[in-house]
Amino acid sequence: MAFSLLADLEVSSILDLTPEWFQNNGIRLMLLDFDNTVVAYTVSEPSPEFLRWLKQLRAIGVDVMIVSNSRKSRRVPDFCEKWGIPYVKRAGKPSTRGIKRAMAQFDAGPEETALAGDQIFTDILSGNRAGITSILVHPILFSNPFQVVRFGIEQPFIRLARRKRSRNMERSTCNYDDHTVK
């Protein structure tokens, strides 16, 4: 159970995660935070792009599940039931409780599970603690000043993760006697 606030991957949107990415990384269970990852806080309907993405993942055998800390009475369940997406509500992130329930439901191991979310102190920390691939998604919309402040506080961790990924990429490609080893 690692304590790390550094995401394994950073994307502008979950839609940047292509079917090829899932296949190349052996990910068969994609856990998604809900608010500001799937939809903005003020929105209850998915975009047509999200629905196409969901259809593409299902076509290649990737299960998608919402893992949300939301306490709003029916917003997450109504969304998920309407679109046929299983969910864990009140997941308790950064606890791993909700993540473990999701993985057990799909009989998926940590090496084949990823979690995408917009918050380092909940989504990324819980993903890392669970030993799964953690993906930081840029927030869809800053709808209140607290979100802007939180995002500012997260910036040092975002920069550290970017540097770490960059160093790891440099180390994975080394030249020895004019032979490139990858």
91: its two tokens: 């997941």
Identify the segments of the chain with pLDDT beneath 70.
Answer: 1-2, 169-182
Q: Quote the pLDDT of residue 144.
A: 75
Q: Regarding beta strands 174-176 and 133-137, do their DSSP bridges make them parallel or antiparallel, or are they unpaired?
A: unpaired
Alpha helices in 26-96 (DSSP H): 48-59, 75-83
Angle at 175 between CA 169 and CA 178, to 5 degrees: 150
CA distances from 26 to 39, 44, 102, 162 (A): 26, 31, 17, 22
155: its two tokens: 């910036």
Q: Quote the pLDDT of residue 135.
A: 98
Q: Quote the pLDDT of residue 160.
A: 81
Domains and CATH numbers, the chain: 9-143 (3.40.50.1000)
Q: Quote the pLDDT of residue 172.
A: 53
- Tens of pLDDT, residue by residue over 118-155, are 999 999 999 999 999 999 999 987 777 777 777 788 88
Which residues face 66 on adjacent strands? Answer: 32, 87
pTM of the predicted structure, to 2 decimals? 0.84
